[in-house]
Chain A
């Protein structure tokens, strides 16, 4: 039998009580929902003072020698594998939803559009960052060409990769398909581009070939890779778990400006 002294019992008891109290707090839906209100404050404040401000841009000398590829780096999904095997010859980027003129762009169409090249910093939610150079057409003019309907409030990016994982947070009802969404202010921001090239070369599979989003005032998980479809919506409440993105469905903020 283990002998437990009174003092050790008190010490462990007090520490344990504090810890289990903290976990009760962090596990409480009410408390979590309450502290989550800070996201509205951050979003509102950054929109108020930021408006269309540009993210800092860097020079070629600042580029990360080895830009970390994160999240899905080699999607296994059959449709995507076929596109890779066909070198994206039959790949089409759909732009649809609440638009007057839905469109589908081949990779050649995308490359033929006027492009913006930018050297920007990619900030992962985990804490690391990397500087990369991206080239691709701005999203805003494409949305104008498609003609957004007045009801459109958000732009959703549907991706080819099934990231699975994190069932403890997302629950089995989630498909695991990667998707993301942004508001119209970021959609029409000059630095929001559909990048088809990185450092002057076509995107590699690890970095999201054939096209990925760059939304430079938000964190890495907003930079959707393997984009297949861009959909204008009035709400994402009925989509997957309803939070507006793969990581949002797993507890992360929808507004990822901090």
Chain B
């Protein structure tokens, strides 16, 4: 049987220029778009929750008096000229972030003193109770959707075959080759475009296997009920509840960085074809590049 399958692959004609092929299966596509919805609400409601106590600490605990444990804070202060301004401090570095963080124009055009501005939060006004309800609803949906994707991806070997990097792909030569190709915006075409290259595998695999599971685990680490159920393993593994909250915030930033790069690459590589393939599954590999 195996020889028949191999023969079939061997004898399959190389992909012709401009040929379309079925790239994303329906479960993958549904999970992708549910994930977009979830992360959109989780991010914006999460920023609203952050605004209720816009400071981060390292350790088991952290509150207003724990200056030594606090490594980040966003707030409104009076500037030297007496006018109110926004201030962001990370470690020893304080930056004036008036208009962006700490103090920014609200929906009615008046300055609002809150860490993340109204345009970036859900709901737009500061409302911890509502933000929490939406955050936990989409948290559940995100977990169920993520499990569906992971289990389906493992069973169909999509994750093992298409996303998980091969050892030889991680060689410095191959990595450098792919970095140069990306820097020159030379995107693969034709047969070469039927599989993910190493930078894509690192970006997608890092998000799927590292960032998003870390979001869930650090999120659950902040739940006193879940801490008890987990026998203290969470938040212990992250160094405490305040540390878990810090990591939750940092990983959020890394996830946003992934989304920015991901969307930029989609636009650079041809947004119509890319969006079409994530909606219909059919992807146009484009004309083979001739050396």
Please tell me which one of the listed residues A22, A58, A64, A68 contacts residue B124 in the complex, with CB atoms under 8 A apart: A22
How many A-B pairs fall under 8 Å by CB? 145
CB–CB A218/B229 < 8 A: no
- A46/B52 contact (C-beta < 8 A), A19-B124, A38-B140, A39-B136 known: no
Docked Cα-Cα span, A164 to B134, in Å, equals 26
Chain A: interface residue total (CB-CB under 8 A) = 51
B280 at the A/B interface (Cβ < 8 Å)? Answer: no
CB-CB nearest in chain A for B56: A127
Docked Cα-Cα span, A121 to B245, in Å, equals 14
CB–CB B133/A39 < 8 A: yes
CB–CB B129/A38 < 8 A: no
Please tell me which one of the listed residues B122, B128, B129, B228 contacts residue A54 in the complex, with CB atoms under 8 A apart: B228
CB contact list, A170-195 vs B, under 8 A: none
Chain A residue numbers with a CB within 8 Å of B52 are 125-127
CB-CB nearest in chain B for A33: B133
Chain B residue numbers with a CB within 8 Å of A35 are 133-134, 136-138
Chain A residue numbers with a CB within 8 Å of B132 are 125, 252-253
A99 at the A/B interface (Cβ < 8 Å)? Answer: no
Docked Cα-Cα span, A123 to B53, in Å, equals 12
Cβ proximity bits B64-93 to A, threshold 8 Å, 1 near / 0 not: 111000000000000000000000000000
A50 at the A/B interface (Cβ < 8 Å)? Answer: yes
Chain A residue numbers with a CB within 8 Å of B50 are 127
B213 at the A/B interface (Cβ < 8 Å)? Answer: no
Cβ proximity bits A51-80 to B, threshold 8 Å, 1 near / 0 not: 001111010001011111000000000000
Chain B residue numbers with a CB within 8 Å of A34 are 137
Docked Cα-Cα span, A233 to B220, in Å, equals 31
CB–CB A129/B61 < 8 A: yes
Within the complex, what minimum Cβ distance (angstroms) separates A231 from chain B?
24
- A217/B61 contact (C-beta < 8 A), A42-B136, A126-B53 known: no
B127 at the A/B interface (Cβ < 8 Å)? Answer: yes
A124 at the A/B interface (Cβ < 8 Å)? Answer: yes
CB-CB nearest in chain B for A252: B129
A258 at the A/B interface (Cβ < 8 Å)? Answer: yes
- A127/B229 contact (C-beta < 8 A), A26-B130, A64-B61 known: no
B153 at the A/B interface (Cβ < 8 Å)? Answer: no
Cβ proximity bits B197-217 to A, threshold 8 Å, 1 near / 0 not: 000000000000000000000
Chain A residue numbers with a CB within 8 Å of B128 are 125-126, 252
Please tell me which one of the listed residues A15, A19, A121, A258 contacts residue B225 in the complex, with CB atoms under 8 A apart: A258
- A38/B133 contact (C-beta < 8 A), A56-B227, A56-B228, A257-B223 known: yes
Docked Cα-Cα span, A39 to B236, in Å, equals 25
Please tell me which one of the listed residues B64, B119, B134, B231 contacts residue A15 in the complex, with CB atoms under 8 A apart: B119
A100 at the A/B interface (Cβ < 8 Å)? Answer: no
CB–CB A128/B64 < 8 A: yes
- A36/B133 contact (C-beta < 8 A), A46-B225, A129-B241, A217-B228 known: yes
CB–CB A121/B61 < 8 A: yes
CB-CB nearest in chain B for A218: B224
Chain A residue numbers with a CB within 8 Å of B65 are 64-66, 68
Chain A residue numbers with a CB within 8 Å of B241 are 121, 123, 129
B232 at the A/B interface (Cβ < 8 Å)? Answer: yes
CB-CB nearest in chain A for B223: A258
Please tell me which one of the listed residues B61, B130, B226 contacts residue A130 in the complex, with CB atoms under 8 A apart: B61
- A53/B64 contact (C-beta < 8 A), A38-B133, A123-B222 known: no
Please tell me which one of the listed residues A26, A50, A124 contacts residue B127 in the complex, with CB atoms under 8 A apart: A26
CB–CB A26/B122 < 8 A: yes
Docked Cα-Cα span, A50 to B234, in Å, equals 13
Please tell me which one of the listed residues A36, A131, A169, A257 contacts residue B61 in the complex, with CB atoms under 8 A apart: A131
CB–CB A257/B225 < 8 A: yes
B63 at the A/B interface (Cβ < 8 Å)? Answer: yes
Please tell me which one of the listed residues B64, B119, B140 contacts residue A19 in the complex, with CB atoms under 8 A apart: B119
CB–CB B66/A64 < 8 A: yes
Please tell me which one of the listed residues A19, A130, A217, A257 contacts residue B107 in the complex, with CB atoms under 8 A apart: A19
A251 at the A/B interface (Cβ < 8 Å)? Answer: yes
CB contact list, A68-114 vs B, under 8 A: 68
CB-CB nearest in chain B for A15: B119
Docked Cα-Cα span, A56 to B242, in Å, equals 14
CB-CB nearest in chain B for A191: B228
CB-CB nearest in chain A for B68: A65
B60 at the A/B interface (Cβ < 8 Å)? Answer: yes
B62 at the A/B interface (Cβ < 8 Å)? Answer: yes
Chain B residue numbers with a CB within 8 Å of A53 are 228-229, 231
| Chain B residues proximal to chain A, CB less than 8 Å | 44, 49-50, 52-53, 55, 60-66, 107, 118-119, 122-125, 127-130, 132-134, 136-140, 220, 222-229, 231-232, 236, 241-242, 245
Q: 25 A-B contacts, Cβ less than 8 Å apart?
A: A19-B118, A22-B122, A23-B125, A26-B122, A26-B134, A35-B133, A35-B137, A36-B137, A37-B137, A38-B137, A42-B140, A53-B228, A53-B229, A53-B231, A55-B228, A62-B60, A66-B66, A121-B61, A123-B224, A127-B52, A169-B129, A252-B129, A258-B222, A258-B223, A258-B224
3 closest Cβ pairs, A-B complex: A257-B225, A251-B129, A26-B123
